[in-house]
C-alpha cells in the first residue's frame, strides 16, 4: 500500500504554520531533520528560529553554534529573503532563569543554592523536556512581541519515549497539585511530630515511613527545599499549561521522525495515537534513513543467482561483489518497506515522507539542503512503496 | 552494564552478551531499566514483567532470564525488604509519594534501578551460592550513563548519614568493583563515536570500570581494496562485461545503478574506517559485530553471541 504523501513544502511555505515540533525516539535523526526543514523554510523566505537539543558537534558548528549559550544566533550562509536563527538548549540555565523570574532575589538564591535544586535542574528525568517546552513558550512570546520570527521549529530531547515531551511538564504539575508536597513541606513549617493532628492519621503513617527511610536530617533538607520552591511553583504550573495549550493551537504541527526499524516505528505509533487523543495536529511521519534501491534494478533472485554464477566460475569478482551488495540492498529495502507498511496499515490517514539514507554524515548547510530536497521530492521515492515502478 | 547512543543497537548487544555469558551452563539475568520492553520485542513477547522470565537457552545448556525493572515496584519491594514497611507503602502511594520518588525526585528512580541491580548481583540461593553467574543491564544511553551510575554517590553526599546513605554506598561498591564492566555500544558514524569517546573520558574521570566498546552494525567490506582507496577498478565496461558473463542484459541504466551503489558503499567504508581510527585511539578493547542484513531475530542474536565469545579477551569469557 502507498500512504498519503507528505508535502512538506506546502506546510513550510504556509504562513499560518507557526510552530513545527519534531518528535521521535533517540537516534533517528531528529536534530538533523529539524535543521534541514528550518533551512528549507528560511530559503523559501520565512523567518525561522530552530531550537536544537544536543546537535552533533560539526552540525552545530556549521550552523554557527559554537557555544551552548541559550541565545538564538543567525546562521550564516542562508540564501534568499528569509532568515534562520539557531540555538542550542541550555537546560540548567533555562531552569535557573525560570526560578529567578518567578521569585524575589532572596528566595531565588535560596532555591538556586539548594543541593536538591542543583540535582533536580541538571538531572531530573524530564527536566530537559520541561525546559524545551518552556523555551518554546519563550521563543513564541518573543516572536509575537518583536515580530522576529514567523516560524519556530523545535527539536525534542532524546527521551526514552517520544511521549515524554508531552508528559513531563504535566507530571511536574500534578505533583505540585498533590498532597505529597504539603507533607514534605510540613516539617519546615514546624508541624513535626504533630503532623498527624494537622493532616490526619494516614499522613502520620506516610510521615513515619519517610522518616524511617530518609532519616530526620535528609527529610528536613528536602522539606526546606520543597517549601522554598512551593511559593514559586504556581508560576511554573501556569506556564507549563500555557505552553501545552500552545501545542493545541491552530498553526502548530508535529512531525514524527522515525527510522525504518521496528523499535522506532513502534514509538512513532504511540506518539501518533497520543497526538490524535490530544487533538494535536500531526503533519505526518518522516521516515528517515530509508534504503532505496536505484531506479534500474534487478530482483533479489536475479542478483543473487548472477553473483553465484560468477563466483562459481571464479570470474569477474568485482561485479559479483557488487551484485551481492545489490541483493542485500534489495533485501534491506524489502524489510524496511514491510515495517513501514505495517505502520501505515495501522494509521492509514497519516501522510508519510521517506528520506533516503545518505552515504555520509551531514555537517554543513549543503548537506542540510540535500536532506531538505530529498524530503520535499517524494515522487522521486515512489519506488520504495511500489517497487514495480522501478 | 551495556550503554550506547540511541539507535546503535544497545538492547540487541546487551541481549547477545547475556547469551554469550550464559553459554556452558551458566545462569544470566538480563535487566531492562527504561521500561521500553525492547528485550521482549527481540524474543517476540508482548512484555517482560518485574519478575524473572526465562527468555533464552544458550549453547551447551545456559539460561538467560530477563526482568524489566519497574521503579514503582522496585520502590515498594525496597521498602518491604529493608524497612519492613508494608502498610506505609500503600499510604505513600496514595498521597503521591511513590509517584514523586519514581518520576520527579532527582535521581531517585536511578537509585532504585541501580539498587535492584546491586541486589540481584549479591543475591544467593538456598544453598548459599550466588543466584546469578552474571547480571547484564541494558543501561540508559551513553549521554546519561555516568550520571546514572554515579547517582548513588550524589545521594550519599545529599543524605550525609542514615539508611539511604548506607544503601547508596553499598550499591556504589558493587558498581565500582572489578566485577563490574561498563560496555559502550557504538556504530561507526560521527555522532555515536563522539559520544562513545566522551563517555569513556567521563567514566574514566569518575573512576568507573570501563569494559569494551562494541562496534555494532559493521558493514562488510566486499569490494576490492583498490576501488576503496582510489575509486578506480569498477569502470562501466568492467561491470558490463561481468553482467554479460553472468547472463544478464547490461543496460546502461543497470550498469549506472550498480556503479552508484558501489560508490555509496565506498563512501560508507571510508567513513567507517575514519571513525574506526578514532575509536582505535581510545584505551579500550573493541569488539566487532557485523550488520545483520535480515534484521535482528533470534538467529541474529545467536550469531552475535558467538561473535562476542570469539573476541572476548582470554580469561574473561
| Helix, strand, or coil (residue A178) | coil
Give ∠ CA A58-A64-A66 in degrees, rounded to 5: 70
CA–CA separation, B68 and B34 (whole Å)? 8
Q: Which tens digit of pLDDT belongs to each residue from A306-341?
A: 999 999 999 999 999 999 999 999 999 999 999 999
More confident residue, A241 or B238: B238
pLDDT averaged over every residue in chain B: 88
pLDDT band at B129 (very low <50, low <70, confident <90, very high): very high
Range among A62-71, A182-191, A281-290, B231-240 with highest mean pLDDT value: A281-290
Residues of A in Cβ contact (< 8 Å) with B163 = 212-215
Q: Are A33 and A353 in contact (CB under 8 A)?
A: no
Q: Are B68 and B47 in contact (CB under 8 A)?
A: yes
C-alpha cell at A291: 534504503
pLDDT band at A180 (very low <50, low <70, confident <90, very high): confident
Q: Are A106 and A131 in contact (CB under 8 A)?
A: no
List the single residue in B with minimal CA-CA distance to A183. B95
Q: What are phi and psi of B315, to 5 degrees?
A: 85, -15
Residue A127: per-residue pLDDT: 75
DSSP state of A141: H
CB-count burial class (<10 Å; 0-12, 13-18, 19+) for A70: middle
Q: What are phi and psi of A245, to 5 degrees?
A: -65, -35
pLDDT band at B300 (very low <50, low <70, confident <90, very high): very high
Residue A221 CA: distances (Å) to CA of A127, A217, B152: 21, 6, 17
More confident residue, A230 or B8: B8
Q: Are A153 and A255 in contact (CB under 8 A)?
A: no
Residue A384 has a CB neighbour count (10 Å cut-off) of: 24
Residue A217: per-residue pLDDT: 67
Segment A66-88 shows an average pLDDT of 89
In this complex, the residue of A160, A213, A294 whose CB is nearest that of residue B164 is A213
| b/e code A329-342 from CB counts within 10 Å (16+ = b) | bbbbbebbbebbee
Residue A174 predicted with pLDDT over 90: no
CA–CA separation, A52 and B244 (whole Å)? 51
C-alpha cell at B200: 569513556
CATH superfamily of the domain spanning A8-162+232-293+340-389: P-loop containing nucleotide triphosphate hydrolases (3.40.50.300)
CA–CA separation, A234 and A177 (whole Å)? 9
Residues of A in Cβ contact (< 8 Å) with B237 = none
Residue B105: per-residue pLDDT: 65
Residue A158 predicted with pLDDT over 80: no
C-alpha cell at A171: 507530571
CA–CA separation, A121 and B144 (whole Å)? 14
CA–CA separation, B78 and B115 (whole Å)? 9
Residue B13 predicted with pLDDT over 80: yes
Residue B92: per-residue pLDDT: 77
Residues of B in Cβ contact (< 8 Å) with A313 = 245
More confident residue, B231 or A1: B231
Residue B308 predicted with pLDDT over 70: yes
Q: Give the percent of chain B with pLDDT over 90.
A: 56
Domains of chain B plus CATH, in order, are: 2-223+284-311 (3.40.50.300)
CA–CA separation, A125 and A129 (whole Å)? 8
pLDDT band at B317 (very low <50, low <70, confident <90, very high): very low
Closest-CA distance, A350 to chain B, in angstroms, reads 24
List the single residue in A with minimal CA-CA distance to B257. A294
Residue B135 predicted with pLDDT over 80: yes
Q: What is the distance in angstroms between the CA of the first residue and the CA of the last residue of chain B?
A: 16
Is the CB of B190 less than 8 angstroms away from the CB of A363?
yes
Continuous H helices in chain B: 10-22, 38-42, 71-83, 87-94, 97-99, 108-122, 142-159, 163-176, 190-205, 225-230, 236-245, 252-280, 298-311
Q: Which tens digit of pLDDT belongs to each residue from A268-292?
A: 998 899 888 888 889 999 999 999 9
Range among A101-110, A179-188, B23-32 with highest mean pLDDT value: B23-32
Residues of A in Cβ contact (< 8 Å) with B258 = 294, 319, 322-323, 326
pLDDT band at B71 (very low <50, low <70, confident <90, very high): confident
CA–CA separation, B167 and B151 (whole Å)? 12
Residue B26: per-residue pLDDT: 96
Is the CB of B7 less than 8 angstroms away from the CB of A56?
no
List the single residue in A with minimal CA-CA distance to B35. A160
Provide the whole-model pTM. Answer: 0.86
Residue A297 predicted with pLDDT over 90: no
More confident residue, B88 or B285: B285
Residue B100 predicted with pLDDT over 80: no
Q: Which tens digit of pLDDT belongs to each residue from A353-389?
A: 999 998 887 888 999 999 999 999 998 888 899 877 6
Q: How do A151-155 and A19-23 pair as beta strands? A: parallel
More confident residue, B112 or A35: A35
Q: What is the distance in angstroms between the CA of the first residue and the CA of the last residue of chain A?
A: 16
DSSP state of A4: P
Continuous H helices in chain A: 8-13, 30-43, 57-62, 91-101, 105-113, 115-123, 127-146, 164-177, 180-185, 195-199, 201-214, 216-246, 262-277, 300-313, 317-346, 365-376, 382-385
pLDDT band at B312 (very low <50, low <70, confident <90, very high): confident
Q: Give the percent of chain A with pLDDT over 90.
A: 44
More confident residue, A4 or A297: A4
State ipTM: 0.82
Residue B217: per-residue pLDDT: 94
CA–CA separation, B6 and A31 (whole Å)? 13
Residue among B289, B292, B285 nearest B307 (CA): B289
Segment B64-90 shows an average pLDDT of 83
pLDDT band at A162 (very low <50, low <70, confident <90, very high): low
Residues of A in Cβ contact (< 8 Å) with B96 = 174-175, 178-180
Q: How do A47-52 and A83-88 pair as beta strands? A: parallel
Which residues, in sequence order, are bridge partners of residue B134?
B28
Residue A50: per-residue pLDDT: 95
pLDDT averaged over every residue in chain A: 84
Residue A61: per-residue pLDDT: 80
More confident residue, A345 or A360: A345
Residue A36 predicted with pLDDT over 90: yes
| Domain limits, chain A | 8-162+232-293+340-389
Residue A246: per-residue pLDDT: 86
Q: Which residues contact B268 (CB under 8 A, 6 or more apart)?
A: A359, A360, B219
Q: Are B214 and B186 in contact (CB under 8 A)?
A: yes
Amino acid at each position: 500500500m502507498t500512504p498519503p504523501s507528505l508535502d512538506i513544502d506546502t506546510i513550510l511555505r504556509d504562513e499560518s504554520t507557526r510552530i513545527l515540533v519534531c518528535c521521535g525516539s533517540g537516534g533517528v535523526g531528529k536534530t538533523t531533520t529539524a535543521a534541514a526543514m528550518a533551512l528549507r523554510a528560511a530559503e523559501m523566505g520565512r523567518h525561522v528560529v530552530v531550537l536544537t537539543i544536543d546537535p552533533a558537534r560539526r552540525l552545530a558548528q556549521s550552523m554557527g553554534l559554537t557555544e551552548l549559550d541559550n541565545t538564538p544566533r543567525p546562521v550564516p550562509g542562508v540564501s534568499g529573503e528569509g532568515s534562520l536563527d539557531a540555538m542550542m538548549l541550555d537546560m540548567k540555565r533555562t531552569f535557573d532563569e525560570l526560578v529567578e523570574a518567578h521569585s524575589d532575589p532572596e528566595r531565588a538564591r535560596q532555591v538556586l543554592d539548594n543541593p536538591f535544586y542543583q540535582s533536580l535542574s541538571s538531572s531530573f528525568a524530564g527536566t530537559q523536556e520541561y525546559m524545551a517546552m518552556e523555551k518554546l513558550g519563550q521563543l513564541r512570546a518573543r516572536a509575537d512581541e518583536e515580530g522576529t520570527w514567523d516560524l519556530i521549529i523545535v527539536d525534542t530531547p532524546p527521551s526514552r519515549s517520544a511521549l515524554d515531551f508531552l508528559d513531563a511538564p504535566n507530571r511536574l504539575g500534578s505533583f505540585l497539585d498533590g498532597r505529597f508536597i504539603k507533607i514534605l513541606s510540613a516539617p519546615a513549617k514546624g508541624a513535626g511530630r504533630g503532623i498527624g493532628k494537622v493532616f490526619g492519621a494516614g499522613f502520620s503513617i506516610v510521615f513515619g515511613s519517610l522518616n524511617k527511610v530518609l532519616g530526620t536530617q535528609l527529610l528536613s533538607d528536602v522539606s526546606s527545599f520543597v517549601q522554598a520552591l512551593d511559593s514559586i511553583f504556581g508560576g511554573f504550573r501556569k506556564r507549563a499549561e500555557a505552553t501545552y495549550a500552545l501545542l493545541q493551537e491552530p498553526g502548530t504541527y508535529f512531525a514524527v521522525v522515525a527510522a525504518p526499524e521496528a523499535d522506532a516505528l513502534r514509538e512513532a505509533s504511540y506518539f501518533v495515537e497520543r497526538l490524535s487523543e490530544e487533538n494535536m495536529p500531526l503533519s505526518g511521519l518522516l521516515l528517515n534513513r530509508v534504503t532505496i534501491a536505484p531506479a534500474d534494478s534487478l530482483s533479489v533472485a536475479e542478483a543473487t543467482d548472477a553473483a553465484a554464477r560468477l563466483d562459481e566460475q571464479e570470474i569477474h569478482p568485482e561485479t559479483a561483489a557488487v551484485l551481492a551488495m545489490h541483493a542485500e540492498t534489495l533485501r534491506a529495502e524489502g524489510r524496511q518497506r514491510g515495517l513501514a507498511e505495517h505502520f501505515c496499515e495501522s494509521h492509514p490517514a497519516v501522510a508519510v515522507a521517506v528520506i533516503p539514507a545518505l552515504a555520509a554524515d551531514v555537517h554543513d548547510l549543503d548537506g542540510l539542503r540535500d536532506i531538505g530536497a530529498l524530503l520535499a521530492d517524494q515522487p522521486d521515492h515512489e519506488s520504495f512503496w511500489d517497487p514495480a515502478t522501478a | 552494564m551495556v550503554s550506547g547512543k540511541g539507535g546503535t543497537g544497545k538492547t540487541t548487544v546487551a541481549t547477545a552478551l547475556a547469551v554469550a555469558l550464559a553459554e556452558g551452563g551458566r545462569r544470566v539475568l538480563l535487566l531492562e531499566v527504561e521500561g521500553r520492553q525492547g528485550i521482549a520485542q527481540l524474543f517476540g513477547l508482548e512484555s517482560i514483567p518485574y519478575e524473572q522470565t526465562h527468555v533464552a537457552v544458550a549453547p551447551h545448556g545456559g539460561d538467560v532470564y530477563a526482568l524489566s525493572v519497574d521503579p514503582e515496584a522496585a520502590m515498594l519491594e525496597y521498602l518491604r525488604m529493608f524497612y519492613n514497611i508494608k502498610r506505609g507503602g500503600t499510604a505513600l502511594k496514595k498521597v503521591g509519594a511513590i509517584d514523586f520518588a519514581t518520576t520527579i525526585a532527582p535521581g531517585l528512580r536511578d537509585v532504585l534501578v541501580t539498587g535492584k541491580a546491586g541486589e540481584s548481583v549479591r543475591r544467593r540461593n538456598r544453598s548459599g551460592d550466588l543466584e546469578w553467574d552474571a547480571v547484564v543491564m541494558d543501561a540508559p544511553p551513553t549521554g546519561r550513563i555516568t550520571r546514572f551510575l554515579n547517582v548513588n554517590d550524589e545521594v550519599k553526599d545529599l543524605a550525609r548519614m542514615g539508611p539511604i546513605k548506607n544503601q547508596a554506598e553499598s550499591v556504589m561498591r558493587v558498581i565500582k568493583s572489578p566485577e563490574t564492566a561498563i560496555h559502550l555500544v557504538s556504530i561507526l558514524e560521527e555522532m555515536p563515536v563522539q559520544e562513545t569517546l566522551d563517555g569513556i573520558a567521563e567514566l574514566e574521570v569518575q573512576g568507573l570500570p570501563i569494559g569494551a566498546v562494541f562496534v555494532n552494525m559493521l558493514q562488510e567490506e566486499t569490494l576490492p581494496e583498490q576501488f576503496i582507496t582510489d575509486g578506480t577498478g569498477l569502470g562501466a565496461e568492467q561491470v558490463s562485461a561481468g553482467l554479460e558473463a553472468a547472463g544478464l542484459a547490461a543496460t546502461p541504466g543497470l550498469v549506472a545503478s550498480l556503479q552508484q551503489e558501489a560508490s555509496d558503499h565506498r563512501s560508507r567504508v571510508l567513513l567507517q574506517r575514519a571513525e574506526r581510527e578514532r575509536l582505535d585511539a581510545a584505551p579500550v578493547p573493541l569488539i566487532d559485530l557485523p550488520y545483520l542484513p535480515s534484521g535482528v531475530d533470534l538467529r541474529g542474536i545467536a550469531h552475535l553471541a558467538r561473535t562476542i565469545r570469539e573476541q572476548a579477551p582470554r580469561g574473561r569469557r
